[in-house]
Amino acid sequence: MEDSKLSGQTPAPSPDESGAQVKKDFKGLWNSIRTLMSDLLDIRSNTDEQATKDAITADISFKGHTAWILVCSIFIASIGLNANSTAVVIGAMLISPLMGPILGMGMSLAINDLDTLKRSLKNLAIMVSISVVTSFLFFYFFPLQTESSELLARTRPDIRDVLIAFFGGSALVIARARRGTIASVIFGVAIATALMPPLCTVGFGLAIGNMEYAGGALLLFGINTIFIGLATFLVLKYLRFQMVRYANSKRRRMIARLVSLVAFAVMIPSGYIFYQVFQEFLFKKQANEFILNNVSSYKFPGEGRFLDNITDLEYNKGENPIIELVFYGNQTIPDNVIATWTGQKNKYSKLQDAELRVIQGTQNEEADQLKYVNELYESKKAELLNKDEKIRLLEAEVTNLNKLRKGQIPFKDISDEAKVNYQNLASLGYAREINTDFSKLDTLSIFDVRWKAGTTQKQIDEDSQKLMNWLKIRIKDTTLQMRERNAQ
């Protein structure tokens, strides 16, 4: 001990002291991280509660300018969907006022405001009705009813639409609650969640009598509405917006229970929708994995092939799902191979109840489907020329057809008119003659004229000149030639 003091060295800390120091350092680091994350993610301190309520309440109203904007956005969205124009559809999303009542519904549930909830639900119902009726009338009377990809994209919602609606609604409410609203976020959410196009697709489905399209699009709109409202409810609850106060405590409790019941009623279908969509997502994910790992690798001895782009996956709610595999070629797949695929399919949890259908070449009893498969296969084999080459060949073909059409004349009408106007005419012939001087080709219109016996030469010369001038005007060809023959 005396030696250490004499040498000036500090005594080494004991194990207990070292452990305490490590804990102290770790606690300090953890507190620093918590402070950093709190400052980074905190949104309560920069929230303007009253301005947020006023802004959301103001957008609920549906009259005057808002009504006209809604009608215009419906027509723009319908035209964009019909023309398959993404840019036009995006424009309709940006100007659509449908988001207002949905945010109002979520806010009223969060702050226990029954009057705002009633107004939001009423205006949302009116907006939806007008949107569907207007789009129905547009597609019903518009002569072009094309099933564009923009329309079809709104008929089959999946789990991604649920997530987009929830996180889009969350971003929108957070942007609304911030002091100095972030306009770019509002525009982005309007595009991402897409409230107007699904309603227009509902009108399209009703106009063409396709209830599957209308039902799918209505489900997509319902998903967007419910999950945007749910996101609004949760964000405002997190921000601790003050509840609406009522002078009558009994009325306040009754309204609180009613609003809570409505909120619970909204959450039930949202949870059910999420569950159903998620189950369909899992089914298709596992079905694609099954096809990739087992079916796609199958090799025919001859020219048969698996047509992956026609293979269909159907998730039927309440019924067994269907996996339909389509093969081309006269060679059939052995039964033991199909049995092996069935066993491999059953290893996937979501495919055990799925029906495996194998459509293969001439074994398929559905003649129309086989014809389509054959045509598709042949078209793939024929795609040897690029688009520019095809256009060039088609233009050349059109040019040749035009040339041939120019050589055709209404000979029956011309012969009848010539017979009436030239009494000495015995017969009239017409032909197209190709001549060459070995440097170029000329195609000439030749009329073969025969005059009646006894016609004087003077009369023949006079009538020939008149006939020549008339034919040049009649067939619009100044290069025609006429050969004369006297009747024997």
Q: Give the span between the Cα atoms of 271 and 227, in whole angstroms.
A: 10
What tokens were used for 19? 């452990």
What tokens were used for 51? 């301005």
Residue 388 confidence (pLDDT): 55
| The listed CATH number (3.30.300, 3.60.15, 1.10.1060, 1.10.10) that belongs to domain 282-382 | 3.30.300
Q: How many CA atoms lie within 13 A of 149 on its CB side?
A: 2
3-state secondary structure of 286: helix
pLDDT exceeds 70 at position 384: no
- CA 184, 187, 193 angle in degrees (round to 5)? 130
Q: Give the span between the Cα atoms of 345 and 322, in whole angstroms.
A: 12
Phi and psi angles of residue 486, each rounded to the nearest 5 degrees, phi first:
-85, 140
Residue 270 confidence (pLDDT): 65
User: Other C-beta atoms within 10 Å of 376: how many?
Assistant: 14
Model pLDDT for residues 201-248, shown as the tens digit of each residue: 898 889 888 888 888 888 888 888 888 888 888 888 888 888 777 656
Positive or negative CA dihedral for 357, 363, 366, 370? Answer: positive
Phi and psi angles of residue 146, each rounded to the nearest 5 degrees, phi first:
-85, 135
Q: Give the span between the Cα atoms of 190 and 92, in whole angstroms.
A: 9
3-state secondary structure of 179: coil
Q: Identify which of 206-215, 271-280, 323-332 has the greatest average pLDDT.
A: 206-215
Distance of CA 336 to the CA centre of its chain: 40
Decide if 230 contacts 110 (C-beta within 8 A): no
- CA distances (Å), origin 218, targets 20, 214, 267, 269, 455: 62, 6, 18, 14, 86
Phi and psi angles of residue 304, each rounded to the nearest 5 degrees, phi first:
-65, 155
Largest CA distance in the chain: 161
- CA distances (Å), origin 139, targets 15, 60, 386: 82, 28, 35
User: Other C-beta atoms within 10 Å of 488: how many?
Assistant: 5
Query: Mean per-residue pLDDT for 412-419?
Result: 84
Instruction: Give the residue with greater pLDDT, 472 vs 2.
Output: 472
Residue 32 confidence (pLDDT): 74
- CA distances (Å), origin 73, targets 108, 146, 193, 425: 26, 20, 15, 71
pLDDT exceeds 80 at position 255: no
DSSP 436: E
Distance of CA 315 to the CA centre of its chain: 20
Q: Indicate the range of 136-140, 202-206, 232-236, 363-367 predicted with least confidence.
A: 363-367
Task: Give the residues across from 324 on adjacent strands.
Answer: 312, 357
pLDDT band at 430 (very low <50, low <70, confident <90, very high): confident
pLDDT band at 373 (very low <50, low <70, confident <90, very high): low
User: Other C-beta atoms within 10 Å of 80: how many?
Assistant: 24
Decide if 96 contacts 195 (C-beta within 8 A): yes
- Listed by start position, the domains of the chain span 49-244, 282-382, 405-486
Model pLDDT for residues 46-85, shown as the tens digit of each residue: 787 888 888 888 888 877 788 888 888 888 888 888 887 7
Model pLDDT for residues 341-360, shown as the tens digit of each residue: 888 888 888 888 888 888 87
477 backbone φψ class: left, alpha, beta (φ>0; ψ -120 to 50) = beta
pLDDT exceeds 70 at position 25: no
Q: Got the DSSP string for 3-20?
A: HHHHHTPPPPPPHHHHHH
Query: Mean per-residue pLDDT for 308-330?
Result: 78
Q: Give the span between the Cα atoms of 79 and 257, in whole angstroms.
A: 45
- CA 19, 24, 26 angle in degrees (round to 5)? 95
Distance of CA 216 to the CA centre of its chain: 13
Q: How many Å is the Cα radius of gyration of the chain? A: 40
User: Domain 405-486 class?
Assistant: alpha beta
Q: Got the DSSP string for 338-374?
A: HHHHHHHHTTSTTTTT-EEEEEEGGG-S-HHHHHHHH
Q: Give the span between the Cα atoms of 64 and 60, in whole angstroms.
A: 13
Contacts of 215 by beta carbon, 8 Å cutoff, 6+ apart: 205
Instruction: Give the residue with greater pLDDT, 162 vs 416.
Output: 416
- CA 472, 475, 477 angle in degrees (round to 5)? 55
Q: Give the span between the Cα atoms of 207 and 135, in whole angstroms.
A: 9
Q: Give the span between the Cα atoms of 105 and 254, in whole angstroms.
A: 18
Query: Mean per-residue pLDDT for 165-172?
Result: 83
Phi and psi angles of residue 128, each rounded to the nearest 5 degrees, phi first:
-65, -45
Average pLDDT, the chain: 76
- Common-topology check for domains 282-382 and 405-486: yes
Contacts of 375 by beta carbon, 8 Å cutoff, 6+ apart: none
pLDDT band at 10 (very low <50, low <70, confident <90, very high): low
Decide if 327 contacts 295 (C-beta within 8 A): no
Instruction: Give the residue with greater pLDDT, 129 vs 370.
Output: 129
DSSP 314: E
Residue 1 confidence (pLDDT): 46
Decide if 145 contacts 139 (C-beta within 8 A): yes
Residue 361 confidence (pLDDT): 59
Q: Indicate the range of 18-32, 164-178, 354-368 predicted with least confidence.
A: 354-368
What tokens were used for 435? 């001549």
